[in-house]
Amino acid sequence: MSNIPALLRFDAVTPLRDATARWRDAGERIVLVPTMGALHDGHLALMAQARRIGRRVVASIFVNPTQFGPNEDFSRYPRDLETDLALLAAAGIDAAYLPDVETMYPPGFSTRIEVTGLTEGLCGAFRPGHFSGVATVVTKLVNQVRPDIALFGEKDYQQLQVITRTMRDLDIPVEIRGVPTLREADGLALSSRNRYLTPEERAIAPRLQSMLSRIARELVAGGQATGLVASGIAELKQAGFSPVQYLAVCDAETLAPVERVASPARVLVAAYLGRTRLIDNVEVVPEA
Ligand code: PAF
């Protein structure tokens, strides 16, 4: 017999709330890990971190239609619920929250959260409405589960900052924590969308991370963003990425562009390889 307790499954808000209320009343710290499923080792790293810091872990799986644009991959986004549930059970997660679209957006639903400023550049410039969809669904998930802490991967770095700001601005009592990106041995950031890559594209994809790391090193050595960004874009195009949507050096918190790095910063990129849009980012920590 395994000593891992059975994974609870909820698809409605009231029984989920009843369970988390019992845990809260017992003084148990609750951690929420929101996902869109198609779980990979990057998600499992979030689950393992959640297990370490919380007494109770809730993982949500919901492919949120409101964060996909009309020409994006909502309908072909990978879905594999049975495998996901087996992975969550093996990871010792307490509860899987699996709402359907009607539960999250019942008829008459008409509220959206807009975060200004932070969402205007980077992915926000290419995915109108995306961060509004993310901020709205995460606010709902947090209000439904009422966790003490919610974990998000740093791979979606702008998303992490947008969610942090949303919770702070709306006084929602949850601590948002980022978890460092998990990478393949060759540096490619783990992503559910990597499974779209052809073998040829998969061989090219790690160039994204090697370029970001080179730029980060050169910034620490005193380099200027403008020249480094131009060389990085040229390198990606040469490798076969097209289009390169953006490559930018930004303040780690406000995401405002920076030219030289004097405080924590990030280098962020989004580029297509064939039909697949890849994003990645690395931190830049200036030498003391
Ligand atoms: O990063 C994701 O998987 C999604 O954007 C999230 C945070 C689960 C909201 O749908």
Ligand 1 probe mutation, 159, 161, 182, most atoms within 8 A of CB? 159
Q: For residue 157, which of 184, 134, 133 has the smallest C-alpha distance?
A: 134
**Which residue has a Cα nearest atom 9 of ligand 1?**
134
If asked whether residues 120 and 250 sit together in one domain, one would say no
> Could you give the C-alpha distances from 238 to 168, 204, 232, 243, in angstroms and in order?
42, 11, 10, 11
Q: Which atom of ligand 1 is nearest to the CA of 34?
A: 8
Q: How far is the CA of 81 from the centre of ligand 1 (A)?
A: 16
What is the number of structural domains in the chain?
Answer: 2
Q: What domain range includes position 218?
A: 192-283
> Is position 43 annotated as part of the catalytic site?
yes
Give me the sheet containing 276-284, strands edge to edge. 244-251, 265-273, 276-284
Same-domain status, 174 and 198: no
The predicted-structure confidence for 45-102, as pLDDT tens digits, reads as follows 999 999 999 999 999 999 999 999 999 999 999 999 999 999 999 999 999 999 999 9
What's this model's pTM, rounded to 2 decimal places?
Answer: 0.96
Q: Are residues 41 and 151 in the same domain?
A: yes
CB-based burial label for 159 (10 Å; 0-12, 13-18, 19+): buried
Instruction: Summarize pLDDT for 190-212 with one digit per residue, the tens.
Output: 999 999 999 999 999 999 999 99
- Closest CA to ligand 1's atom 2: 35
- Looking at the fold, whether 199 and 250 belong to one and the same domain comes out as yes
What are the pocket residues of ligand 1 if the criterion is a CB atom closer than 6 Å to any ligand atom?
Answer: 34-36, 64, 67, 134, 137-138, 156, 159
CATH code at position 80: 3.40.50.620
* Nearest CA, atom 3, ligand 1: 35
Looking at 179, 201, 234, the residue that finishes a domain is 179
Tell me, yes or no, whether 132 and 266 share the same domain.
no
